[in-house]
Every structure is written in C-alpha cells, then in structure tokens.
Amino acid sequence: MKQRLLFFVLMLGWAWSAQATTYSCIGAKPEAGWAGQYLIVYELSSTQAYVWNGEDASGNYVTATITNGQITANDLDAYLVTVTNEGSNKYGVKAADGFISTSAKKNGITYSQGAVDCTIQANGGYVILETNTNTCRFVYHNTAKRFRFYYDDKKKWADTDYKNIKFYVKGNQGTQPATQNLDINYAQAELYACQSKFPTQSNPYNQYFATFLWLLQQEDENAVPQIGLEILAPTQYSIAGHYQSDYTDGQKYYIHITGGSQHSYFTFPSKAEEGYSTASITVAEMDITKVGPSVYPNAYVYHIKLEFTDSNRKIWILDKDLDVYAWWIDCDRSGKENQDMEPVAFTLESGNHNDASAIPEWKQTDLMPNKILHKGSLYILHQGKYYTLLGQPLR
C-alpha cells in the first residue's frame, strides 16, 4: 500500500512539472514586433509578481513567484493577452472578455469585440501600454490594489501609487552571458546621513544608511556604460561587504532594485556616439573589498566584483579595482531641486567628516563653490556653471 501511495505521489509531481509553463520577462521591443501573447505583470519585488487576471475589479490579479526574471507555473495561460498588429505602432490587446481600452481621460477598462488602437513602447525595462491618453498601470496602496487604465496627464511613470507594468512572454527565453567585462573606470559614492527607508516600509534595519554608488566609464555624466546602484550599508564610513538584490531577513547589505530603474539602473552601450539605452536591473550580486588609499585626493581603492542581469535578460560582469570618491551628505534627502545640502568630503575608511584637507584642490578659489542637489544628483555650482564633484564641467 505504501509503495502504491509513493508511486502515486511521484506521478502526481511529474504530471505537475510536465504541465508547468515558463514565462520570461522582456525589457525591450521584440525583433519581430509586439504582436504575440503576454502576461501583464507588476513586479512587487525580484521574487514576487502580480499577474493580471483579465478582469476589471479590485484585486484583479493572481500571485506568482519570480526566479531570475522568469515565472514558472501551470495555471497562467488563461491570463495571457493577445497583441495584434493594427498598423504603425497601433496594436489591439485582447483579453478573455474582449479587446481592452477605455474612454479618453477616464479610468477603467472597457471590453469590445473589435480591436481598439493601443500604443506600446519599452521604457527602462518597463512596458508602456496606452489607449486614448490613458496608461495601463497597477495601483498599489492600502485601499485598492488592481490593474487598470489610468489617466496620467503628467506621464509620471514612477508615481508613488501607480506602478509600471512589464510583459512576460510565454517560453524560456534564457539569459545571454556577458561577452566582455564592463568598461568601468570611475566610481563615486554618496553616503547619506539619513537612515534608510528601504527595503521595506516597516524598515527593521533602520540602523543602516542609504548609499548611492555610481559606476562610470569616465567622470562624465554623459559617459556610457554607467551603472547606478542604490545600496543599504550598515556604516557611513565604508561600503565594503557582500551585497545582494534578493531581500531576506537578517541581510545587512542590500541592493535596491524593487523600484526599477529609478533606483538601480544600467545605461549602455560602451560608446556615447552610438546612442544609448537604459535598462532596469532585475537581479544583482556584488562584493566590495577595500584595497588601500588612492593616489587621488578624497578617494579610496576598492575591488568591486559585480554581476547583474538587466531587463533584457543579458548578464553583465564588472571585476576590477576602482578609485572610489566618497561624499558624506548630512541631509534628510528630501530631493528638493537646487537645495544646498552642505555636504562634507571625506576619504572612505577615515571616519573624519570635517577634515578640510579632504576637499579637492580645485575647490580652493576666492569664492567657495556651492554644493547643489540638482535633478537628483549632487553637483558643484560655481560662477554660474555646474561641475561634477571632481571638478569636471557639465557639457
């Protein structure tokens, strides 16, 4: 009897695995165009997804697990939408109850028998699905969680409550291994005095500090490739440690990617004259090891080993020593434009936030430059011109 029961359980497990289907996230327009079948997904984190079930109702989603940018399940085919080509960047999007749309400047979903023109484009790893001025979003706050078309006259893709969606295509797309190491030669770290607000709103790790690590081909904001990583570190004096994007209880070093490309992003290719695109980072792991003082002022040498997968499912690798320029910023990180944040420069590992010798020589002028937070980044404003923290004029 026990043998028969074991055989039945094994057969049941085999049957489930045989029926399971893999769906892969796509972060760019497919080569053959958008026509095809997709799941419409909101990624709550790098491991948890909400999949639209095709209805227009509160809680119109099912939960699914994400593993390395893929969802594997045996009951999601019923929620696939079919995208039909209706002309130049015009598409019909058909769910189980019909083609979806909504009236101009009106929230909701309308179903019809014939195709209604929608536009689709990729934006930083997300997919922007629009119809009649309205955008398909996932609303996420305490009183309502649902997929819907919403009127968004200001095009705030990173709105607090209205979240961006992604398309998952049926099939195992797989990841593409990196063909070469990233061409990164410059690094800057901005360490904030305020305590971290992530990875969760309850924030059990409020003794840790938010840090922005900026990795560039050169110290020019227009240089590509460039990687922006918002990380959680337990000290304001060092960034050394092992960081992961998959959040688990007790993890002390965290890479913040759940907010998409606004937090941790990747801009490529390697030559600015070729143009560039921005992708979100879907999973990342990084080891930072201190090496020693740099020959440059206000810098410290770290070995950075970083491997991440972008929203186009391509793997990138960085593994080299870098001179990291660190800036301590004593502020509440309010993000107000052109606000004087009064940062103090210091060398990593020194722990000295008031050492005048740490200020780079180029700043020693008759009129002390102002430190300005502009468009979310820290710059030097001197005699009407903006400079990077190393004194490089902005083009």
Q: Please count the helices (runs of H) and the strands (runs of E) in the chain.
A: 1, 29
User: Is the predicted pLDDT of residue 147 greater than 90, yes or no?
Assistant: yes
Model pLDDT, residue 342: 52
Is residue 25 a contact partner of residue 51, using CB atoms and an 8 Å limit?
Answer: no
Please state whether 76 falls in left (phi above 0), alpha (psi between -120 and 50) or beta: alpha
* Residue 247 to residue 264: CA distance in whole angstroms: 15
Residues 117 and 191 in one domain: no
pLDDT, tens digit, 9 for 90 and up, residues 106-120: 889 999 999 999 999
- Final residue in a domain of this structure, among 139, 170, 201: 170
Q: For every residue of 268-284, which 3-state class applies, written as one string?
A: ECCCHHHCCEEEEEEEE
In a domain, 7, yes or no: no
Residues 266 and 326 in one domain: yes
Residues 225 and 260 in one domain: yes
Residue 23 carries which DSSP code? E
6 pLDDT tier (thresholds 50, 70, 90): very low
User: Is the predicted pLDDT of residue 321 greater than 80, yes or no?
Assistant: yes
Residues 78 and 201 in one domain: no
Residues 70 and 208 in one domain: no
Is residue 176 a contact partner of residue 149, using CB atoms and an 8 Å limit?
Answer: no
Residues 308 and 358 in one domain: yes
Residues 150 and 233 in one domain: no
In a domain, 177, yes or no: no
Residues 355 and 256 in one domain: yes
- Final residue in a domain of this structure, among 170, 196, 229: 170
Which single residue is written with the structure tokens 């049926």?
Answer: 170
User: Is the predicted pLDDT of residue 164 greater than 50, yes or no?
Assistant: yes
Which two structure tokens, joined as six digits, stand for 124?
Answer: 């930083």
- CATH number of the domain that residue 57 is part of: 2.80.10.50
Which single residue is written with the structure tokens 């960047």?
Answer: 89
- Final residue in a domain of this structure, among 170, 198, 231: 170
Model pLDDT, residue 250: 60
Which two structure tokens, joined as six digits, stand for 364?
Answer: 């020693």
In a domain, 101, yes or no: yes
CA-CA-CA-CA torsion sign (59, 41, 267, 234)? positive
Query: CA angle at residue 292 from 287 to 293, to 5 degrees?
Result: 125
* Owning domain of residue 104: 18-170
Residues 276 and 356 in one domain: yes
31 to each of 35, 36, 329, 369, how far by Cα in Å?
A: 10, 12, 44, 49
Q: Comparing 297 with 339, which gets the higher pLDDT?
A: 297
* Rounded percentage of the chain residues whose pLDDT exceeds 70: 66
In a domain, 1, yes or no: no
In a domain, 117, yes or no: yes
pLDDT, tens digit, 9 for 90 and up, residues 207-218: 567 788 989 888
* Rounded percentage of the chain residues whose pLDDT exceeds 90: 27
In a domain, 10, yes or no: no
Q: Does pTM top 0.75 for this prediction?
A: no
Task: Give the residue-averaged pLDDT of 337-350.
Answer: 55
Model pLDDT, residue 52: 96
In a domain, 9, yes or no: no
Domain count for the chain: 2
Residues 50 and 109 in one domain: yes
The residue type at 180:
Q
Residues 119 and 238 in one domain: no
Helices (H), the chain: 2-19
Model pLDDT, residue 382: 53
pLDDT, tens digit, 9 for 90 and up, residues 39-49: 999 988 778 89
User: Is the predicted pLDDT of residue 316 greater than 80, yes or no?
Assistant: yes
Which two structure tokens, joined as six digits, stand for 278?
Answer: 């921005």
Residues 373 and 261 in one domain: yes
User: Is the predicted pLDDT of residue 206 greater than 70, yes or no?
Assistant: no
The span from the first CA to the last CA of the chain, in angstroms, equals 78
In a domain, 180, yes or no: no
User: Is the predicted pLDDT of residue 395 greater than 70, yes or no?
Assistant: no
